[in-house]
């Protein structure tokens, strides 16, 4: 099968079926069709990985192994979140918009031109605004912050792309290179929500439906990290700019610290997920600061692990919030006894994001810590504080979940729970499997990392 | 009365000296910062897009300048319709009598009492933009256009900082982007990038309009 056909399918298939899914979005069949579409696209991406570069808009697309694996994981994660929507509706438009967004982001990740990629991601962001708000009246803070942060980054990326295109001869000029590094750093910091620019992360976690929040936390940071890897692969001299390493390491460390501390004092699972994500993104940025192949392997392993963790957290948080008809820990007393699978899934997801041993998250943290310790002994300590903060936050929640239920407390019955249970068990198993037997995934991550550094 | 064609409008726009376009940008930006009434600010935003067209005809192909103006007009239309819908909902919600709510009872002062602070900010931004434009000229842009780029970016970012309501925040984003576009359009020759940028602008206006409707009331800010 030619490369052009197979990579074009990834964008074309969801786009062809989206009108049908849009028309059926209020019925369960629409949800099932969306799940099927996401799963089949993930399968097709891996099955028909293109050997030759395809063309789109007159530009050669990069559909290498890194792209194939990332896009397949994105569609699988989307399918996992769609299963949630069958029992706890996350907004009727989630099915068609979710597919459009992931198809658009997949296209962005294949485009070698950073400016066009940034514009495509921005289009995906603008579509996501509608599912984040989900027709909810009143506060629009989450959608607004998300919109502002991502839009402000686009001009920075367009300038970087313009500089890279137009001034091939100036790369010996340190001032010019520093300018590109600064613009890229600003753009990626806004997109990744690095502290203190994390307003969109915490606002989305607080206001959006948990499934939608998980969706945004999976798709857009993944896109940002992927494009960052691509940029560094094509312009490795960016890492030679003075203080780049310090900026990445300390920027990441600040996010780790802020995420961990704020996570430990939350009183409900939704905002807790936001700060746990901030901690996790901080560790990935620190891994960037390592500037070596081990760091890239840790990042790639981390991307896969965080997708599993976030689908778990999105699913389980939504189920528990919906069952309790409230979000606070206090309102969830005893729910752990009624929803043991969801509670277990929540804890595995949390442990994965926190980087606890025996989970997929631990591998990334371990690889990062091993390389960070020789650089500065404070970094492992900061990672430990952040990780403990996230753990404390979730253990406080667990404490409420397993407490005896209050008399007369009612629990909402959810449809299609068997499917959610199955997804939670499978994903929990995947996280534990990757944590216990990481060799295969780690080998894949290291192979993919060779294509970057 | 003959309706002017697009070509007539552009012939007229080309006649505007580039320094005047900067002055018009100062005016529209000041209105965006100071105006209380959403109708006034949407009108100022449309004026800003028309002025961008006038400034760009000196720098790029007239077709591209015309496309930017058309996108701007669509954005203005979308924001106007959204704000109108949101305003009506707000009035209906607040009034026990729907007819009185639709007719409106407020005086509708275009400039609110807290405008002195914003006036000072506006003047400071003007001075900053002029000083930046003279100290750090932008590429090959005429000096006046460079000042306009700085001014629009500063006004946009200031609106983002000072405002909470989606319509104003959206106008801030669109203004900052207009400033960037005024420069970037002269650099970028790729029609794909220009086209995608237009799509992003239109979707941005759509998203802002949606958030304005969702937010409902308080289209006029208290400041």
Question: Do A305 and A266 have their domain in common?
Answer: yes
pLDDT at B110 over 80: no
Q: Name the band, by pLDDT with cuts 50, 70 and 90, for residue A84.
A: confident
Return d(Cα B198, Cα A42) in angstroms, integer.
31
Nearest chain B residue to A141, by CA = B164
Nearest Cα to Cα of residue A187 among A226, A162, A152:
A152
Q: Are A87 and A419 in contact (CB under 8 A)?
A: yes
Q: CB of B205 within 8 Å of any CB in chain A?
A: no
Return d(Cα A424, Cα A315) in angstroms, integer.
8
**The domain containing residue A34 runs over which residues?**
1-242
Please tell me which of the candidates A120, A126, A166 has its beta carbon nearest to residue B204.
Answer: A126
pLDDT at B193 over 70: yes
Q: Does the distance separating the beta carbons of A57 and B199 come in below 8 Å?
A: no
* Residue from B174, B194, B214 to probe the interface with A (highest A Cβ count within 10 Å): B214
| pLDDT of B198 | 92
Question: Do A59 and A156 have their domain in common?
Answer: yes
* Bigger pLDDT: A184 vs A173: A184
Q: Are B126 and B23 in contact (CB under 8 A)?
A: no
Question: Do A237 and A259 have their domain in common?
Answer: no
Question: Do A335 and A399 have their domain in common?
Answer: yes
- Averaged pLDDT, A26-49: 86
Please tell me which of the candidates A119, A148, A158 has its beta carbon nearest to residue B169.
Answer: A148
Q: What is the pLDDT of residues B64-96, one digit of tens each?
A: 888 899 999 999 999 999 988 876 555 545 544
Please tell me which of the candidates B204, B206, B216 has its beta carbon nearest to residue A137.
Answer: B216
pLDDT at A412 over 80: no
Q: Which of A242, A272, A287 is the last residue of a domain?
A: A242
Q: What kind and span of H or E run contains A55? A: strand A55-56
pLDDT at A302 over 90: yes
Closest CA–CA distance from residue B170 to any residue of chain A (Å): 8
Q: Does the distance separating the beta carbons of B207 and A140 come in below 8 Å?
A: no
| pLDDT of B107 | 46
Please tell me which of the candidates A119, A127, A130 has its beta carbon nearest to residue B196.
Answer: A119
Q: What kind and span of H or E run contains A400? A: helix A378-402
pLDDT at A442 over 80: yes
Q: Name the band, by pLDDT with cuts 50, 70 and 90, for residue A13.
A: confident
Residue in this structure with the two tokens 């299963």, named with its chain if needed: A83
Q: Give CA A382 to chain center in angstroms.
A: 22
Return d(Cα A419, Cα A253) in angstroms, integer.
38
- Strand, coil or helix: A193: coil
Return d(Cα B146, Cα A378) in angstroms, integer.
46
pLDDT at A415 over 80: no
Q: What is the pLDDT of residues B26-50, one digit of tens each?
A: 999 999 998 878 888 999 999 999 9
Give, to the nearest 10 degrees, the angle between helix B18-34 and helix B166-187.
160
Q: Hey, which bits of A220-315 come out as E strands?
A: none
Q: Does the distance separating the beta carbons of B204 and A123 come in below 8 Å?
A: no
Return d(Cα B106, Cα B95) in angstroms, integer.
12
Q: How far lies A343's CA from each of A87, A315, A328, A397, in Å?
A: 16, 11, 15, 10
Return d(Cα B186, Cα B200) in angstroms, integer.
18
Nearest Cα to Cα of residue A289 among A245, A223, A238:
A245
Nearest Cα to Cα of residue B101 among B111, B112, B89:
B89
Q: Which of A186, A210, A242 is the last residue of a domain?
A: A242
Name the B residues in 18-37 with CB < 8 Å from any A CB. Answer: none
Percent of chain B with pLDDT over 70: 78
Question: Do A114 and A169 have their domain in common?
Answer: yes
* Residue from A56, A115, A144 to probe the interface with B (highest B Cβ count within 10 Å): A144
Which of the listed ranges A6-15, A262-271, B91-100, B103-112 does the model predict with the highest average pLDDT? A262-271
- Averaged pLDDT, A404-429: 79
Q: Are A286 and A360 in contact (CB under 8 A)?
A: no
Cβ-Cβ pairs closer than 8 A, A with B, add up to 75
Q: Does the distance separating the beta carbons of A151 and B173 come in below 8 Å?
A: yes
Closest CA–CA distance from residue A164 to any residue of chain B (Å): 12
Q: Which of A211, A242, A273 is the last residue of a domain?
A: A242
Token couple for B165: 């309501």
Chain B hits for A140, CB-CB cut-off 8 Å, are 166, 211, 214-215
Q: Does the distance separating the beta carbons of B184 and A130 come in below 8 Å?
A: no
Question: Do A235 and A311 have their domain in common?
Answer: no
Q: Give CA A5 to chain center in angstroms.
A: 28
Question: Do A128 and A97 have their domain in common?
Answer: yes
Q: Does the distance separating the beta carbons of B160 and A123 come in below 8 Å?
A: no
Q: What is the pLDDT of residues A109-140, one digit of tens each?
A: 999 889 999 999 999 999 999 999 987 787 88
Q: Name the band, by pLDDT with cuts 50, 70 and 90, for residue A6.
A: low
Q: Tell me which long-range contacts A265-269 makes (C-beta under 8 A, separation of at least 24).
A: A265/A393, A266/A393, A267/A328, A267/A329, A267/A330, A268/A327, A268/A328, A268/A329, A268/A397, A269/A210, A269/A313, A269/A317, A269/A320, A269/A321, A269/A327, A269/A329, A269/A346, A269/A397
| pLDDT of A22 | 83
pLDDT at B63 over 50: yes
**Contact residues for A241 (Cβ-Cβ < 8 A; gap 6+):** A174, A177, A178, A181
∠ CA A37-A57-A78, rounded to 5° = 20
Q: How far lies A24's CA from each of A17, A19, A129, in Å?
A: 11, 9, 21
Q: How far lies B53's CA from each of A154, B33, B59, B61, in Å?
A: 22, 21, 10, 11
What is the residue extent of each domain of chain B? 6-103+112-215
Q: Name the band, by pLDDT with cuts 50, 70 and 90, for residue B101.
A: very low
- Averaged pLDDT, A359-372: 91
Token couple for A230: 């691509």
How many structural domains comprise chain A? 2
Please tell me which of the candidates B176, B193, B206 has its beta carbon nearest to residue A119.
Answer: B193
pLDDT at A50 over 50: yes
Q: CB of B198 within 8 Å of any CB in chain A?
A: no
The residues of A whose Cβ lies within 8 A of any Cβ of B are 57-58, 115-116, 119-120, 122-123, 126-127, 129-130, 133, 135-140, 143-144, 147-148, 151-152, 154-155, 158-159, 162, 166
The DSSP line for A120-177 is HHHHHHHHHHHHHHTT--S--HHHHHHHHHHHHHHHHHHHHHHHHHH-GGGGG-HHHH
Residue in this structure with the two tokens 């203004």, named with its chain if needed: B175
Dihedral sign (CA B59, B60, B63, B68): negative
């Amino acid at each position: 099968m030619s490369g052009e056909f197979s990579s074009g399918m990834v964008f074309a298939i969801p786009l062809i079926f989206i009108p049908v899914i849009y028309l059926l979005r209020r019925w369960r069949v629409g949800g099932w069709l969306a799940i099927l579409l996401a799963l089949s696209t993930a399968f097709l991406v891996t099955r028909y990985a293109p050997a030759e570069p395809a063309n789109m808009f007159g530009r050669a697309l990069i559909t290498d192994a890194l792209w194939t694996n990332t896009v397949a994981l994105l569609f699988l994660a989307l399918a996992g979140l769609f299963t949630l929507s069958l029992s706890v509706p996350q907004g009727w438009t989630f099915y068609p918009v979710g597919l459009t967004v992931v198809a658009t982001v997949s296209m962005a990740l294949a485009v070698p031109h950073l400016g066009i990629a940034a514009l495509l991601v921005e289009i995906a962001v603008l579509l996501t605004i509608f599912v984040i708000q989900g027709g909810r009246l009143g506060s629009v803070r989450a959608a607004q912050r998300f919109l502002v942060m991502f839009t402000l980054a686009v001009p920075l990326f367009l300038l970087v792309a313009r500089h890279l295109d137009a001034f091939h001869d100036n790369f010996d000029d340190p001032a010019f290179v520093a300018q590109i590094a600064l613009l890229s750093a600003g753009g990626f910091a806004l997109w990744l929500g690095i502290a203190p620019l994390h307003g969109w992360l915490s606002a989305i976690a607080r206001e959006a439906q948990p499934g939608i929040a998980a969706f945004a936390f999976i798709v857009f940071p993944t896109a940002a990290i992927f494009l960052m890897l691509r940029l560094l692969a094509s312009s490795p001299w960016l890492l030679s700019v003075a203080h780049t390493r310090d900026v990445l390491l300390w920027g990441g460390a600040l996010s780790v610290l802020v995420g961990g501390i704020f996570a430990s004092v939350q009183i409900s699972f939704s905002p807790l997920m936001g700060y746990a994500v901030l901690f996790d993104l901080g560790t990935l940025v620190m891994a960037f600061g390592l500037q070596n192949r081990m760091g890239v392997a840790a990042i790639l392993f981390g991307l896969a692990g965080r997708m599993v963790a976030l689908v778990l957290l999105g699913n389980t948080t939504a189920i528990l919030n919906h069952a309790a008809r409230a979000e606070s820990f206090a309102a969830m007393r005893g729910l752990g006894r009624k929803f043991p699978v969801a509670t277990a899934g929540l804890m595995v997801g949390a442990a994965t994001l926190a980087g606890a041993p025996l989970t997929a998250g631990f591998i990334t943290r371990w690889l990062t810590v091993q390389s960070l310790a020789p650089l500065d002994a404070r970094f492992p300590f900061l990672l430990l504080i952040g990780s403990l903060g996230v753990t404390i936050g979730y253990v406080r929640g667990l404490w409420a979940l397993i407490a005896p239920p209050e008399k007369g407390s009612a629990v909402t019955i959810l449809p299609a729970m068997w499917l959610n249970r199955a997804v939670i068990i499978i994903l929990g198993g995947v996280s534990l499997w990757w944590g216990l037997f990481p060799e295969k995934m780690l080998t894949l991550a290291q192979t993919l990392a060779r294509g970057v550094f | 009365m003959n309706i002017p064609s697009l070509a007539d409008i552009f012939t007229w726009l080309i006649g505007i000296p580039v320094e005047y376009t900067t002055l018009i940008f100062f005016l529209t930006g000041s209105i965006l910062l100071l105006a209380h009434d959403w109708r006034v600010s949407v009108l100022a935003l449309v004026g800003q897009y028309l002025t961008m067209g006038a400034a760009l005809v000196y720098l790029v192909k007239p077709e591209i300048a015309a496309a930017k103006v058309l996108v701007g007009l669509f954005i203005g239309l979308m924001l106007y319709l959204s704000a109108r819908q949101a305003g009506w909902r707000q009035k209906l919600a607040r009034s026990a009598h729907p007819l009185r709510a639709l007719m409106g009872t407020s005086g509708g002062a275009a400039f609110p009492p807290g405008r002195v602070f914003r006036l000072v900010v506006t003047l400071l931004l003007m001075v900053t933009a002029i000083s930046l434009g003279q100290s750090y000229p932008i590429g090959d842009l005429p000096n006046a256009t460079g000042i306009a780029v700085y001014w629009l970016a500063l006004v946009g970012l200031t609106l983002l900082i000072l405002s909470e309501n989606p319509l104003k925040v959206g106008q801030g984003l669109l203004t900052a982007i207009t400033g960037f576009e005024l420069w970037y359009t002269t650099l970028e020759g790729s029609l794909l990038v220009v086209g995608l940028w237009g799509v992003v602008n239109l979707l941005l206006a759509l998203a802002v309009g949606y958030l304005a409707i969702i937010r409902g009331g308080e289209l006029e800010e208290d400041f």
